[in-house]
Chains A and B, each alone.
Chain A
């Protein structure tokens, strides 16, 4: 597969030409979907495992209660190995010993692997164990999204200048932080709901949910790490635009990518001010971190509509 970091006329793979796509990329997309399905099945198996523990009188508070079950673990390992193999394949196909970051498939594969690494870390250290569990559907969704985007718009990223390179790098790094923040927000809302609705018969621990304060702290750290990266991504994106105004194919104020990116930045800007505006802490902050990630993801993938 021909690939160049600077490509003025990117090869596009419109949806109707899906079958005519280069066979190598087509197989990679299929395998990415497969990895996504495996992660999803691992989540379902893990959920069933914990539900079985909940249903039985034993096991609710056992050390095993927060575990995902053997089947789920095996599937996670298999899917991770598959993603790793795919990324290596892309490295080898690129013909240079550097991380391939040429299109959405690369970006989402890399992002998913980073999140899987976090999952392994959480499970290994048993720190914030419940977060690990909810990373599984997030990874499955991101992989499917990457594969779908590769079908809808397989255009390679256009590294027309150094700002473009820095832009992509900060976007991917920021997305790891925001994805984790989003998962933290979901877990916070779940734990909050259980505590408020007095589902107290040990159900709070059935997926090993950490204390609310720990989740809140974790979310804050993710936002503090992600916000500067997003800011750099916005600035480098703007600088890139000044050098190559055609990138957006539309005026910046009419570009969905720019609009959603600005909205995401605004949400995260609000979130980093929680210590100054404590009225939004807790449940509201959790909702905002989910909203922020959805907006950020939209901005990330908005290139699909930039034609």
Chain B
């Protein structure tokens, strides 16, 4: 793709997310990986001088672009492009769209990547989704230096925020808390048996998490054998009726209960009777049924660890509170990364101006030197070289301070002013003023 370096750019994004658009709108606007490839290709054909990345997840659809300042597309054209790609009339999605430019766009991307804009703050899936979106854009050759740097820094910033603030610490769902507890008791699972009593939705959800532990056996017991078999087929388990529950509990190391029974199905006396045939092996019982399936006295038995839904929810709520406390610190941390990027971006923007300044000074010096040599024919080649070196040194020393100020030291917001002053003072004629910086 054509290089945009040394040009003032407009950074722009248009999109919708879980807060601005209902699920059916997000579904219609979402891009599959193939569609992303196709869309990036079409976009490049329409706007060859623009960089573009499409981020499409279940909660957001966003298109990020960087294009020369006074060129197209505008946010409206970008929205139109997205609508036309999906063959959707604009009224179906227009009101759900938001757009950000320049600094706001950079901040938004950094927030999104760090999951501060996610449904579940602190989730790490968005990090890999942004990475994937960036990778797809790289494969489609629709990114260049600005977006390479922007997305790489956004990903690095997100990692830093997660590492330094514990934004993603602790589990937030009952199921994942249960899995963590199981890991606190057992060190391996390839020799363990999971027993699930009940075949409802919650049981299915919990099993999805527990099956991630790759246990040796998965047993499903339910009053209706047919439903147990259905669930067993889904998770490659073995189905059984409740009539053999005692035998199943003897075999199990992890027991999950989620039945609709009004009375406890595992009483202390019932479980105590199977402790010996179990050879007193440790067992974790996760009771997510309401009303409870397991008598609380079962938890007092030796080597039995019982948790009900309240226990698990308490942990999840505690973790959620801790994450909330981390949000402010994460924003502060992120702001540092945004400023760093802006400094780089602004320095890159004043680059042509600095080059023009040096060129101008060297041109003046060369002209003066030529005139001096014309008036002093006795000056030999060695003498001219000495004078050239002297002028170079003088220019370098004189310009070093102001150039360092404008590229490194000055506040990002002060740079455009300094750049403008420099241009006026030295009558510099770089092809474009660094107006893009004003937007930042």
- Hey, which bits of chain A sit against chain B, CB under 8 A? 57-62, 191, 195-196, 198, 200-202, 204-205, 209-214, 217, 278-279, 281-284
Contact = CB atoms under 8 A, between A and B. Distances in A.
Contacts of B183: 211
A213 B188 contact: yes
A202 B318 CA distance: 9
A212 B185 contact: yes
B314 A200 contact: yes
Contacts of B299: 196
B165 interface: yes
A218 to B, nearest CB: 10
Contact of A57 (B166, B181, B315): B166
Chain B, interface residues (CB within 8 Å), range: 20 to 34
Given A57-B326, A202-B319, A211 B185 contact: yes
B322 interface: yes
Contacts of A57: 166, 321-322, 325-326
B437 to A, nearest CB: 36
A60 B185 contact: no
Given A210-B187, A279-B280, 8 more contacts: A57-B166, A57-B322, A195-B305, A200-B177, A201-B319, A211-B183, A278-B279, A281-B280
A198 B281 CA distance: 20
Contacts of A58: 165-166, 169, 322, 326, 329
Nearest to B279: A278
Interface string B159-201: 0000001100110000001000101111110000000000000
A212 B184 contact: yes
A193 B305 CA distance: 10
Contact of A283 (B276, B302, B318, B325): B302
B158 to A, nearest CB: 17
Contacts of B165: 58
Given A200-B314, A211-B186, A214-B187, A282 B166 contact: no
Given A195-B305, A200-B315, A201-B315, A213 B282 contact: yes
B315 A62 contact: no
A282 B311 contact: no
B166 A200 contact: no
A202 B280 CA distance: 26
10 contacts: A57-B321, A57-B322, A60-B169, A198-B307, A200-B315, A201-B314, A205-B184, A213-B185, A282-B303, A284-B302
B386 to A, nearest CB: 58
- Most chain A C-beta atoms within 10 Å of own C-beta, residue among B169, B279, B305, B318: B169
